[in-house]
A and B are shown apart, each in its own frame.
Chain A
Amino acid sequence: MTAVTHDHDAPYQPVFVGDRRKELDALFPLYPTKMACILPALWMVQEDRGWISDEGMAEVADVLELTPAYVKGVVTFYTMYNTHPVGKYLIQVCTTTPCNICGAEDVVGAFLEHTGCGELGITSADGRFTVIEVECLGACGFATPVMINEGFVESVTAARVPEIVAGLK
């Protein structure tokens, strides 16, 4: 699992320059409008900066010729976009009904304990972990699935958690 530590206090650096700009430009011919590229553009910002700040939203608005308020409305609709900085590893545990009956809450408890977070949604003191509950990840037969950033881990049990956390440097 590779992850990058982001300096969330540093001033915002534009994302859509150089190769990223070329990547965005390559998307425009695939859709009749620039607005349709908003989800991919937001993914690029999150991949590069770890989360989507107001400056990030303003930059996306600028390159797609939309208003920042419009972009913000879209960002806050979709739960995978982080609107606040998160730990180096964002641990997302599914606790919806099919996983809930297979011990998902125990998995959450184990992650909270072994990451040192203690509480959902807060980032651990060393900045490495944030643990959150998410809704159905679409891997119900492989309970409990856990996403760690973009990585997808199947069949996590409370017993496997210490080993998983130990592997996240």
Chain B
Amino acid sequence: MATTAEPTTAVTQPKMVNLTIEGRPVSVPEGTSILEAGKRAGVLIPHYCYHPGLSIAGNCRMCLVDVEKAPKLAPACATAAAEGQVVHIYTEKALEARKGVLEMLLINHPLDCPICDKSGECELQDFTYQEGPAESRLRDPKRFNPIEDFGGDVLYTTNRCILCTRCVRFMDEIAQDTVLNVTERGDRALIGKFEGKDLTHAWAGNVIDLCPVGALLSKDSLNKARSWELDHAPSICPGCSQGCNISIDTRDNMVIRLRPRPNENVNKYFMCDTGRLDYRWINRQDRVEVPLMRRGESLAAADWDVAIPATAALLDGRRVFVAASPNLSNETLYLLAQLIRANGGTGAFTVPTGPEAPLPGVPDLSLRADRAANGDGAALLGFRRTTGLLDGLTAGDVLVVADADAASITPAQLALAAAVIVIGTTLPENLRTAAIVLPIANYAEEDGTFTNLRGRVQRFSQAKAAPGMARPSWWVVGDVLAALGKGNAYYLASEVFAAMAADVSAFAGMTYDALGMRGLVVSGGAQ
């Protein structure tokens, strides 16, 4: 007798297998490698060629582990976890084998650590310290090959290469532009390219991060700093609306480089070269470092406790026109929107655009046409996207230029405004007629959030100190609102965020804790 099955709303669970790794029981979906199962169990099995974003090569042989009842050591990256498996990582047999691999890797590897950029963040160093040989048994000359310029930002130091082929696989599978190959055979093998076809792909710089050793280096950051001198702050790339997760690496309050940070939902493990190499503006020295107030023909430095009330006085009872930068945080834009609401008026922003450059091997990842980090956040918070920045500026408005690109602003437009207040990181030439200039931190000098093109709200953290008396942007706007009696002053970005989440339905329920390192999508999805 046939019965009709009830349609189920249950999510189909993958079949799980249970195994033990170094005495720790762990349960993983069928098909998971022992290496990934190890991560789940909290154990890092040494490896080089394996990368979760690339196909499995299994050539470095570094991940050899001892599986009970198996006749040979198993490469953990290429061996599936099986029900009842008992895996040992630190048996003498496995340790000897991995020590042998390290010895072989170091045979032709120049002991360049004192002059190699990778030193301090080099996986060959790390695992050699952990389980490698103490001395070299090589009594013969090492193989030598000259350094090669691969084009783009990439330098190839052939001698250091361990032929893990991560770079070749990345260009082939993820960038889908097969410009790198392995040439020759045996110990003559090296990574190569074709004469005239360089590594100029928009995402090629990722091979530098992927390289476990100092073979592929960034020309841009060559010899600039030792890795252990660097501080790292988790942040978001401000280059476009994709919102790739990055790490801002600084030394002595200067940004040395940007590197991608993994986010499964946004950029996987990668960032594009445009974003990667565009950090020098964060270090620019021509910053406004003190509040400035007009005294006759010129601007004179003033204390905050003078400039803030003066700003409030200028704004009191007047409509405002806020020309905002699409790179301001959600928090700052929210407070500016409050100002607009309190005083009446309007807010606008322009977004510079450029050609798109997708990364074909990752779904929905591209250098976006919108070359700003928070255009979507600005739109969500009520700002109008426009091509003419000051279109709609009415005579008598107080013009607040909130760090927007002022290049298009004309004296005639400025003359329309009752007063010009600049809340910014720099003071452009054509805004020197402003009444008040309030110096703010740039995004790398404060905490905050951006909303990317898919409506994902992501946190960024302060990476360096702001110069002089500059303060976080949301702090300054909050003080102005408080001085106007139209809002609160804030001392933590998280508090501004909480106020925004309570007030703006798109952010309802979000907190900094909930956003964590992954972010959350606004309710209602992307605009």
Do A and B associate with each other?
yes
Digit string of A53-73 for contact with B (CB within 8 Å is 1, else 0)? 010011000000011111011
State which of B179, B182, B194 has its C-beta within 8 Å of the C-beta of A57.
B194
Q: Which of A17-35 contact B (CB under 8 A)?
A: none
Is the pair A72, B192 in contact by a Cβ cutoff of 8 Å?
yes
Is the pair A73, B197 in contact by a Cβ cutoff of 8 Å?
no
Is the pair A70, B181 in contact by a Cβ cutoff of 8 Å?
yes
Q: How far is the CA of A12 from the CA of B266 in the complex (A)?
A: 47
Is the pair A70, B178 in contact by a Cβ cutoff of 8 Å?
yes
Assess A67 versus B184: contact at CB under 8 Å? Given A54-B194, A72-B192. Answer: no
Assess A69 versus B178: contact at CB under 8 Å? Given A54-B194, A54-B195, A57-B194. Answer: yes
The residue in chain A whose Cβ has the minimal distance to the Cβ of B188 is A76
Q: How far is the CA of A73 from the CA of B179 in the complex (A)?
A: 10
Digit string of B274-295 for contact with A (CB within 8 Å is 1, else 0)? 0000000000000000000000
The residue in chain B whose Cβ has the minimal distance to the Cβ of A70 is B178
Q: Say whether B219 faces chain A, with CB atoms less than 8 Å apart.
A: no
State which of B183, B184, B185, B197 has its C-beta within 8 Å of the C-beta of A68.
B197
Q: Say whether B477 faces chain A, with CB atoms less than 8 Å apart.
A: no
Q: How far is the CA of A133 from the CA of B226 in the complex (A)?
A: 47
Which bucket holds chain B's interface residue count?
A: 10 to 19
Q: Say whether B368 faces chain A, with CB atoms less than 8 Å apart.
A: no
**B195 neighbours in A (Cβ, 8 Å):** 54
Q: Say whether B193 faces chain A, with CB atoms less than 8 Å apart.
A: yes
Assess A76 versus B184: contact at CB under 8 Å? Given A67-B178, A67-B179. Answer: yes
Q: How many A-B residue pairs have CB under 8 A?
A: 38
Q: How far is the CA of A72 from the CA of B183 in the complex (A)?
A: 7
**B183 neighbours in A (Cβ, 8 Å):** 72-73, 76-77
**B184 neighbours in A (Cβ, 8 Å):** 76-77
Q: How far is the CA of A72 from the CA of B192 in the complex (A)?
A: 9
**A54 neighbours in B (Cβ, 8 Å):** 194-195
Q: How far is the CA of A88 from the CA of B213 in the complex (A)?
A: 44
| Among A70, A72, A73, residue most surrounded by chain B Cβ atoms (within 10 Å) | A73
Q: Say whether B378 faces chain A, with CB atoms less than 8 Å apart.
A: no
Is the pair B185, A72 in contact by a Cβ cutoff of 8 Å?
no
Q: Say whether B101 faces chain A, with CB atoms less than 8 Å apart.
A: no
State which of A72, A77, A79 has its C-beta within 8 Å of the C-beta of B194.
A72
Is the pair A77, B185 in contact by a Cβ cutoff of 8 Å?
yes
Is the pair B192, A69 in contact by a Cβ cutoff of 8 Å?
yes
**A73 neighbours in B (Cβ, 8 Å):** 181-183, 192
Q: How far is the CA of A79 from the CA of B183 in the complex (A)?
A: 12
State which of A58, A69, A79 has its C-beta within 8 Å of the C-beta of B179.
A69
Q: Say whether B180 faces chain A, with CB atoms less than 8 Å apart.
A: yes
The residue in chain B whose Cβ has the minimal distance to the Cβ of A69 is B194
**A79 neighbours in B (Cβ, 8 Å):** 185
Digit string of B167-189 for contact with A (CB within 8 Å is 1, else 0)? 00000000001111111110000
Q: How far is the CA of A77 from the CA of B192 in the complex (A)?
A: 12
**B194 neighbours in A (Cβ, 8 Å):** 54, 57-58, 67-69, 72
**A77 neighbours in B (Cβ, 8 Å):** 183-185
The residue in chain B whose Cβ has the minimal distance to the Cβ of A66 is B178
The residue in chain B whose Cβ has the minimal distance to the Cβ of A76 is B183
**A70 neighbours in B (Cβ, 8 Å):** 178, 181
Q: How far is the CA of A66 from the CA of B197 in the complex (A)?
A: 13
**A76 neighbours in B (Cβ, 8 Å):** 183-185, 192
Is the pair A69, B185 in contact by a Cβ cutoff of 8 Å?
no
Q: How far is the CA of A77 from the CA of B178 in the complex (A)?
A: 17
Q: How far is the CA of A68 from the CA of B178 in the complex (A)?
A: 9
Q: How far is the CA of A6 from the CA of B183 in the complex (A)?
A: 26
Hey, which bits of chain A sit against chain B, CB under 8 A? Answer: 54, 57-58, 66-70, 72-73, 76-77, 79
Hey, which bits of chain B sit against chain A, CB under 8 A? Answer: 177-185, 192-195, 197
For the complex of A and B, 5 pairs with smallest distance between CB atoms: A73-B181, A68-B194, A76-B183, A69-B194, A67-B178
A-B contact pairs, 16 of them (CB 8 A): A66-B178, A67-B178, A67-B179, A67-B194, A69-B179, A69-B180, A69-B181, A69-B193, A70-B178, A70-B181, A72-B183, A73-B181, A73-B182, A76-B183, A76-B185, A76-B192
